[in-house]
Amino acid sequence: MRLAFLGTPEAAVASLRALVEAGHEVALVVTRADRRRGRGGALVASPVKRAALELGLSVTDDLAAVRDAHVERGVVVAYGALIPADLLAEVPMLNVHFSLLPRWRGAAPVARAILAGDDETGVDVISLEASLDTGPIHAEARVPIADKTLSELTLELADVGANLLIEVLSSVLLLEHPRPQVGEATYARKLSATDFALAPTMGVAQAARVARLEASRVTIGGRRLRILRAHAGDVDAALSPGTVGVARAVSLGFVDGTLVLEVVQPDGGRVMTSAAWWAGARLVEPLRWEGPITPDGPVGSGA
């Protein structure tokens, strides 16, 4: 099938590669424009653009170019912008969406599923409509969330979605007979700094979910740490809220339990275990920890 592919982040690359490997003709890849990143402000191409160039595909950041590509369909995976209704009227499109619709329509479905404590999520391949993630479902696959981090779960969903997409495109039944979405819709709003914030007044179960987003930062003894992996500790080992304990790993006290830090990254440093960080930091107990500080007070503390 002659296709246009619209996508931007690493999570979309698996679907692009799967289409090429399955023998589909990807006539055009559309991605977001290069962005300036880093201290030098160098322009950096999106992961999809880099993959497209590696595969020898035509790539652009001009969405209007789809009209002149003479494709049968478009495939959209985390493109990062709504597709106009007039373009959808000309070119029907499939969307690989990382949730079990209608739950978690919107920008951050994987993170919202983790934060909400959902037991499972999944991938839906839907017909794209001008309204946000409302189209009928061609196929669905379910994935347990368990204690996976955001990057782990996203990578798994990307692979599941790529396989599901190829299944839909190879089946006349699935392609031509989607089913309507059924159930209560929820919306996965874009993440903000508050969503990554930890505070001693939080429950430890929620703190563990926030930590699995891999972007939370805390300060211990004046040292800032990014938390990359953590888990709720034993109730018997609970610390007072805001205090720090060190046994086999560094632990943080919350209002109803303890968060055990497994993997961390100090500002300007490498990724390491919390025990290795503690050994190098040479701090002395007792210590307290705090979350990020904003002009209005501690984020997420209710201040």
Tens-digit pLDDT profile for residues 145-177: 999 999 999 999 999 999 999 999 999 999 999
**In this structure, which long-range contacts are made by residues 273-280, counting pairs with CB atoms below 8 Å and at least 24 apart in sequence?**
273/249, 274/225, 274/249, 274/250, 275/246, 275/248, 275/249, 275/250, 277/225, 277/250, 278/246, 278/250
Domain membership flag for residue 303: no
Domain end (from 160, 188, 216): 188
Which of 147, 171, 188 is the C-terminal boundary of a domain?
A: 188
d(CA 273, CA 116): 27
Q: Give the other-Cβ count within 10 Å of 75's Cβ.
A: 29
Q: Give the domain range for residue 246.
A: 193-298
270, 126: one domain: no
Secondary structure E strands in 212-249: 216-220, 223-232, 243-246
Question: Based on the number of CB atoms within 10 Å of its own CB, is 275 exposed (0-12), middle (13-18) or buried (19 or more)?
Answer: middle
pLDDT tops 70 at residue 36: yes
Bridge partners, residue 96, by sequence: 125
Do 43 and 179 lie in a common domain?
Answer: yes
Same-domain check for residues 212 and 177: no
Whole-prediction pTM value? 0.92
Please check whether residues 10 and 149 belong to one and the same domain: yes
**Residue ranges in the chain assigned as alpha helix (H):** 13-21, 47-54, 85-90, 109-115, 150-169, 172-176, 204-211, 274-281
Q: Are 124 and 158 in the same domain?
A: yes
Tokens representing residue 118 in the block: 């959902």
Each residue of 212-265: pLDDT tens digit? 999 999 999 999 999 999 999 976 667 999 999 998 899 999 999 999 999 999
Give Cα separations from 178 to 136, 189, 247, 265 (angstroms): 6, 26, 54, 45
